[in-house]
Amino acid sequence: SAAQAGDNTAKYSDALERLSTELSTQDDPSAAISEVLQDTRDMSAAMATLRAKLDDSQKQINVLREEVLKARRESLQDALTGLANRRAFDQQMAVCLAAAQMAPAAETGTAQRAACLVTSDIDHFKRINDTFGHGFGDQVLRAVSQVIKACTPGDSMAARLGGEEFAILLPEVDLEDARKMAEKIRMTVAKARIRRHDTQEAIASVTLSLGVTLYRIGEDAREFIDRADRALYASKAGGRDRVTVMAA
């Protein structure tokens, strides 16, 4: 369309130059003036057509942009809970650790506010599924996710890593603040009562086991996650429904 409009403009320019010459040599310029007016109308019509096509293209671009953004959001979001998924968590972990590596390290190899990681697991989740069905299990996952999301600071990321396992990545948070947040999540979930949608029956309380750790400068993401998981396993081994802190 742009090339065609350019051709029309060139022809119009040539016509104006030719008609200008004719006007200077004719006693009665009315015919030439009429031709100029017609060429001007044709040129205006061509530009109007181009504008309409460009407007339509812009609308299509806007629609495609929204579809791409939606697809990108969905690719990074857990469909059941609305939390970030494992892919988004891994991406954010890489960004967070790169930033932490830039911070000055203490002699112990840790930065007091480098980053903290909280991992959590719903206690006896298989028993919940077996007793009440997978539909209710999904309801429990969504309810726990709402609590985690509500307790997570805005600059942090809460993610569902898979199954009943969750993680919260906390940049520039010290270990004590991370522990307090984990304890708040644990207590909120333990106090809640989730009702079945079909019978409105309130089941016994759902509980979480959580592990908390602080990033050590120089380690990779796998080491960081493994230490948080060891803290989580310690909570489960210690009786569940508790928070375990593992600084190193």
Residues known to be catalytic: 164
DSSP state of 113: T
197: helix, strand or coil:
coil
State the residue for tokens 């065609």. 4
Q: What angle do CA 102, 103, 105 make, to 5 degrees?
A: 115
Exposed, middle or buried by CB within 10 Å (0-12, 13-18, 19+), for 64?
Answer: exposed
- Angular region, 128: left φ>0, alpha ψ -120 to 50, beta rest: alpha
Between the alpha carbon of residue 60 and those of residues 24, 28, 68, 76, 154, the distances in Å are 48, 50, 12, 25, 34
d(CA 111, CA 101): 9
Contacts of residue 42, Cβ cutoff 8 Å, sequence gap at least 6? 8, 12
Structure tokens at 186: 């644990």
Tokens representing 10 are: 């060139």
Q: Please provide the distance, in angstroms rounded to a whole number, between the alpha carbons at the two ends of the chain.
A: 65
